[in-house]
Amino acid sequence: MPGGAGGRCTSSVRILQVAVLLYLILYCILNVVLNRLQEAAACLEALGALDARSGRLTERGRAMARLPVSPRHARMLLQVRCPALQCGASSIANYKG
């Protein structure tokens, strides 16, 4: 039966196979992305930049966000008690370059 019901059935099976494959690929990608976001949130919580209950930035988090460095480096710069380095951190935060 060329071109009959058998051909339509084969096409439907192929479409279903492609759809399942795309679903699995998207599921894997989204799973990786969600895991990375959870890791990032946990890191920001550990640094004191993110409130675990509300999911909002803390005062420290807002100060860290103003620095053009990674969150870990920003936390380090803000933690330093040396006035000269705090002045440097302030200069970095205000740099508009």
pLDDT score, position 11: 87
Burial class (CB in 10 A: 0-12, 13-18, 19+), 78: buried
**Stated pTM of the model:** 0.62
Give, in degrees to the nearest 5, the angle at Cα 51 between 70 and 62: 45
Pair of tokens at residue 34: 């969600």
Say whether pLDDT at 1 is over 80: no
Look up residue 54 and give its DSSP letter.
T
Each residue's pLDDT tens digit, 64-78:
998 888 999 889 888
